[in-house]
Amino acid sequence: MADTLTKTDPGAVAAPTKSAPDTAAAPAPTPIPTVIADQVDIVYRVHGAATSGRGAATAALGRILRRRKGGDDGAERGVRTVHAVRNVSFTAYRGEAIGLIGTNGSGKSTLLKAVAGLLPVERGHIYTDGQPSLLGVNAALMNDLTGERNVHLGGLAMGMSREQVRERYEEIVDFSGINDKGDFISLPMRTYSSGMAARLRFSIGSAKDHDVLLIDEALATGDRSFQKRSEARIRELRARAGTVFLVSHNNKSIRDTCDRVLWLERGELRMDGPTAEVMREYERFTAR
Ligand SMILES: Nc1ncnc2c1ncn2[C@@H]1O[C@H](COP(=O)(O)OP(=O)(O)OP(=O)(O)O)[C@@H](O)[C@H]1O
């Protein structure tokens, strides 16, 4: 579970000195950290994985017999480990939009879930200032409930009051574009296409100001005009002093949205820097 940073003292923001001449440029405000990952390792344990090619029933019977005999180490029980994130450290600051890139299985979603406090770290620490919110395409909305009920429940689940949800309801539905082609918001979510459902999730999730907003591929599902609206929304969220993390395989989305990029490969942080620099190296790597 992510530890919590003590709130940074607002007085820590550097103020111009009184004696400075009028013409002097104001000193840049001290960046305020929102997420610190310190030498983080994340390991999955997969139970019942080492079945040596036998069927599930045979493997289960084998496990019962071994348990009766008493002798049973981890490997025998079929527990396999996947070391998904290795020794990753970074500090994210308020107002940054950070892209997380890397080839399939490189650990991006795993790292995001750990920052959200949904996965424990094996080693190291993750400190966050404020409540991180994970806005994934799989964010749990209820398929049997109407879009309308999901807007209300989703808003409440994010900590908005009933009144706040009511106030923002129209805006959330308009932004999602769900009703552009008819009254779909009063239908159960299971009747939505995957793109429509993803749009509604993004609209609900981004209706609230977040200290740290974690977005996993949400932009990949909408059509181009929705992607553009989403990118603008992410810029607004950043402007309201939040930090945004965006996992995406869409290099253009990353370039259009992020000013900094963390590149993970095989669980290790391969590069952390300005978007243009990291993307150049990443594209060289993936073109090979
Ligand atoms: N629930 C899980 N149990 C066991 N291993 C997992 C689990 N989820 C992910 N992994 C493994 O962890 C590693 C990192 O996976 P992760 O989903 O974080 O990568 P990713 O960079 O987000 O990939 P992609 O770009 O394909 O979405 C992979 O080796 C994957 O097989």
- For the chain (length 288 residues), average pLDDT per consecutive 10? 41 36 63 96 86 62 65 62 97 94 95 93 94 69 92 87 94 92 92 87 85 77 78 78 87 90 98 98 94
Query: What are residue 88's phi and psi, to 5 degrees?
Result: -95, 130
Residue whose CA lies nearest to ligand 1 atom number 16: 107
pLDDT of residue 6: 37
Q: Whose CA is nearest to atom 7 of ligand 1?
A: 44
Helices (H), 18-119: 56-69, 74-77, 108-115
Q: How far is the CA of 117 from the centre of ligand 1 (A)?
A: 16
Contact of 113 with 119, CB cutoff 8 Å: yes
Does the beta carbon of 6 sit less than 6 angstroms from any atom of ligand 1?
Answer: no
Position 61 scores a pLDDT of 72
Q: Is 46 in the pocket of ligand 1 (CB under 6 A)?
A: yes
Q: 190 near 163, Cβ under 8 Å?
A: no
**Whole-number pLDDT of residue 20:** 41
Predicted structure pTM score = 0.77
Alpha carbon of 156 to ligand 1 centroid (Å) = 30
- Classify 37 as helix, strand or coil: strand
Is 14 within 8 Å of 76 (Cβ atoms)?
no
Nearest to 137 by CA among 188, 202, 212, 187: 202
From first CA to last CA, the distance across the chain in angstroms is 38
How many CA atoms within 13 Å lie on the side-chain side of 4?
A: 6
Ligand 1, atom nearest to 45 Cα: 4
In this structure, the residue with its CA closest to atom 30 of ligand 1 is 105
Tell me which residue of 176, 168, 221 sits closest to 195, measured CA to CA.
221
Please work out whether the CB of residue 105 comes within 6 Å of at least one atom of ligand 1: yes
**Ligand 1 in reach of 80 Cβ (< 6 A):** no
Question: Residue 79, Cβ neighbours under 10 Å: how many?
Answer: 14
Q: What is the pLDDT of residue 234?
A: 80
Selection from 89, 92, 88 nearest residue 106 by Cα: 88
Order of strands across the sheet that contains 3-4: 3-4, 123-128, 33-46, 80-93
pLDDT for the residue 235 = 79
Q: Which atom of ligand 1 is nearest to the CA of 217?
A: 27
Atom of ligand 1 nearest to the CA of 110: 18
Task: Give the count of beta carbons closer than 10 Å to the beta carbon of residue 288.
Answer: 4
pLDDT given at position 48: 75
Q: Which CATH superfamily is domain 32-38+91-287 in?
A: P-loop containing nucleotide triphosphate hydrolases (3.40.50.300)
Would you state the pLDDT for residue 12?
Answer: 36
The pLDDT of residue 130: 79
